[in-house]
């Protein structure tokens, strides 16, 4: 079971962290901070650059902590929060990924919840530091707080979506500014 949890944590955590890296840099095929900022504006978020930095930083931190099995319920909570926000952006497109739906964010939320509930396993920093297993109430609270925080974030940062045909031109200028 510990080896399975390690694989799950590494895959889910590193994928989430990778998405964060893409939002704030040109690494891993990202569009840089200017491109990430434009993506958030296009998707209807207020805050522009600060929102992109906060989202990217949250994904990097949550993903790396989840992969390492460090403060696992809190890392899972943060991962569920940021991936819930991602799901809200795609909600209107339906479930399936071939329609750019929310299937992928949902899988990452569910996998993060599973890690929070089962614990990080023996091959984790939590175990090494004597933090595992976490009390069930901590994990259950994290599973409730994570998605709710994502929904609140989306609600508070909701602004006008910019799908007026000029998005590609804005993105080109944003990339040039990086």
* Local structure of residue 134 (DSSP, 8 states): P
Q: Is 173 helix (H, G, I), strand (E, B) or coil?
A: helix
CB neighbours of 165 closer than 8 A, spacing ≥ 6?
none
Whether the ω angle into residue 20 lies within 30 degrees of 0, i.e. cis, is no
Q: What is the pLDDT of residues 58-99, one digit of tens each?
A: 999 999 999 999 999 999 999 999 999 999 999 999 999 999
Q: What is the pLDDT of residues 137-176, one digit of tens each?
A: 999 999 999 999 999 999 998 866 554 444 444 444 445 5
Q: Domain coordinates of the chain in residue numbers?
A: 2-177
The span from the CA of 151 to the CA of 140, in Å, is: 18
pTM (predicted TM-score):
0.85
The helices-and-strands tally (H runs, E runs) of the chain is 8, 0
The span from the CA of 34 to the CA of 23, in Å, is: 9
The span from the CA of 81 to the CA of 148, in Å, is: 7
* pLDDT confidence of residue 44: 87
* Local structure of residue 91 (DSSP, 8 states): G
């Amino acid at each position: 079971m510990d080896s399975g949890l390690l694989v799950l944590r590494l895959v889910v955590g590193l994928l989430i962290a990778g998405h964060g890296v893409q939002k704030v840099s040109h690494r891993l095929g990202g569009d840089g901070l200017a491109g990430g900022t434009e993506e958030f504006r296009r998707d209807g978020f207020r805050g522009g650059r600060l929102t992109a930095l906060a989202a990217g930083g949250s994904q990097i931190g949550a993903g790396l902590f989840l992969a390492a099995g460090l403060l696992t319920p809190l890392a899972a909570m943060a991962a569920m929060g940021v991936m819930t926000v991602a799901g809200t952006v795609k909600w209107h497109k339906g479930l399936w990924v071939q329609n750019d739906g929310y299937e992928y964010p949902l899988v990452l939320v569910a996998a993060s919840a599973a890690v929070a509930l089962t614990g990080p396993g023996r091959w984790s920093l939590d175990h090494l530091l004597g933090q595992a297993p976490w009390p069930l109430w901590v994990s259950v609270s994290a599973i409730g707080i994570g998605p709710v925080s994502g929904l609140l974030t989306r609600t508070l940062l909701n602004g006008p979506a910019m799908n007026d045909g000029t998005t590609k031109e804005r993105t080109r200028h944003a990339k040039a500014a990086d």
